[in-house]
Structure 1
Amino acid sequence: MTDIKVPHQRYIPQNLSDEELVEHAKNELFHVTRAYEELMRRYQRTLYNVCARYLGNDRDADDVSQEIMLKVFYGLKKFEGKSKFKTWLYSITYNECTTQYRKDRRKRRLFDALSLNPLDEEVEPEPVDANSSDLDRWLVGVNAIDREIIILRFVAELEFKDIASIMHLGLSATKMRYKRAIDRLRESFPPIMGG
């Protein structure tokens, strides 16, 4: 008995929704990557920006972005569609950034314990200079959870329910932390936030 080959379906990836692209990618991967490439094209810039803001440097952001794209490539066939693709993608992004951030923090503690200068080992996030955006300068001093909420809201443009799901927080706790962080941001940068 021979396998019946289904003729390759013609479609224009740019004209399809994320959900349609996910279905095409599930059927095509690993031999054809058109649908996957379009999904990544749509989110690549924002994905990188989320990583850069979260991790504080371009080198780590680039590495983590590549790792995320590989995880999506190999995990897409298992994506069940219980959430939007965008939410699933940023859930992976959040987890990868958190893992990288913790690795960097452990390295810095080890270097401190061994009396090494972490800057010599290039594990310290790049300092935020005067040319950085006000948001980047503010994010340096914000606690990790509030920083993550702000990045997922402003950079990834996710809804509060999606942020709460990704971060395993209650919806009301997510909104409360967001409001407090925005209030602190307004205090820090009144001309920007209209304060």
Structure 2
Amino acid sequence: MTTSAPPYSRYVPADLSDEALVDRARVELLHSTVAYEELMRRYQRTVFNVCARYLGNERDADDVCQEVMLKVLHGLKQFEGKAKFKTWLYSITYNECITQYRKDKRRRRLYDALSLDPQEEAVPDPAPLDPGHASLDRVLIHVNPVDREILVLRFVAELEFQEIAQIMHLGLSATKMRYKRALEKLRNQLDNPF
């Protein structure tokens, strides 16, 4: 960690790299959140899009984004910088999405056990944020979660395979193979819609 300027000196957060902002945030968090806020501003939209596409609805995505931001806020002091900040952030996002997905899955099983239709309980989700991605959103809902996670990390978060491998705790070749298979399934879904 190399922070040359004192935390109270003036700086333009948008001009700093992620690493410099992380260093600043770690020093400042007791009395200022300027650097942290800039980090979140940079990644908030992409984190939300990753969550929305993974979970299939914006309401849950918004909740998960809030959890991610809190985990980043509380975890910055322990962030060691062994990976890029972006990789660490998406690792937290990925884990929070999995947690939310499992909660939803348990809830759906409960509805089934009680013979309730979860569709009756659910409030319809608003339209996707970007009309250009509407078809991707529709297809991702029908792709299994294992395939969805790697496609979302690659297409929405725009991560490299090595970063995805770190996040998913897989080897690089296993990550590439899963991606290739998921992409083939996605193509089949697009070729043979519903």
TM superposition score category, shorter chain reference: 0.7 to 0.9
Equivalent position SS for 2:120: coil
Counterparts of 2:43 and 2:14, CA distance in 1: 13
Show the counterpart of 2:56: 56
Gaps of 5+ in 2: 1-5
State whether structure 2 residue 137 is matched by structure 1 residue 136.
yes
- Is the contact made by 1:128 and 1:137 (CA closer than 8 Å) also made in structure 2? no
Counterparts of 2:122 and 2:152, CA distance in 1: 24
- Number of aligned residues: 183
Show the counterpart of 1:147: 148
- The letter for the 2-side match of 1:18 is D
Shift of 1:30: 2.9
Shift of 1:135: 1.3
Equivalent position SS for 2:137: helix
What TM-score, normalized to structure 1? 0.87
Show the counterpart of 1:101: 101
- In structure 2, the CA distance between the partners of 1:69 and 1:141, relative to structure 1 (3 Å rule), is same
Equivalent position SS for 1:163: helix
Counterparts of 2:107 and 2:190, CA distance in 1: 32
- The letter for the 2-side match of 1:144 is P
Superimposed CA distance per residue, residues 44-80 of structure 1 (whole angstroms, 9 cap, x where no aligned partner): 0001000000111111111110111011011111100
Shift of 1:134: 1.7
Counterparts of 1:139 and 1:117, CA distance in 2: 22
Aligned residue runs from structure 1 range 149-188, under 5 A: 149-188=150-189
- Is the contact made by 2:162 and 2:172 (CA closer than 8 Å) also made in structure 1? yes
Show the counterpart of 1:78: 78
Superimposed CA distance per residue, residues 109-159 of structure 1 (whole angstroms, 9 cap, x where no aligned partner): 011001112123328x85989x76221122122221111000000101111
- In structure 2, the CA distance between the partners of 1:187 and 1:128, relative to structure 1 (3 Å rule), is farther
Gaps of 5+ in 1: 1-5, 191-195
Show the counterpart of 2:11: 11
Moved more, 136-145 or 46-55: 136-145
- Is the contact made by 1:51 and 1:93 (CA closer than 8 Å) also made in structure 2? yes
- Is the contact made by 1:48 and 1:61 (CA closer than 8 Å) also made in structure 2? yes
Shift of 1:188: 3.5
- In structure 2, the CA distance between the partners of 1:108 and 1:95, relative to structure 1 (3 Å rule), is same
- In structure 2, the CA distance between the partners of 1:71 and 1:135, relative to structure 1 (3 Å rule), is same
Show the counterpart of 1:22: 22
CA root-mean-square deviation? 2.1
Equivalent position SS for 2:118: coil
Equivalent position SS for 1:38: helix
Superimposed CA distance per residue, residues 87-127 of structure 1 (whole angstroms, 9 cap, x where no aligned partner): 0000000000000000000010011001112123328x859
- Is the contact made by 2:59 and 2:125 (CA closer than 8 Å) also made in structure 1? no
- Is the contact made by 1:64 and 1:96 (CA closer than 8 Å) also made in structure 2? yes
What TM-score, normalized to structure 2? 0.87
- The letter for the 1-side match of 2:77 is K
State whether structure 2 residue 69 is matched by structure 1 residue 34.
no
Counterparts of 2:159 and 2:40, CA distance in 1: 17
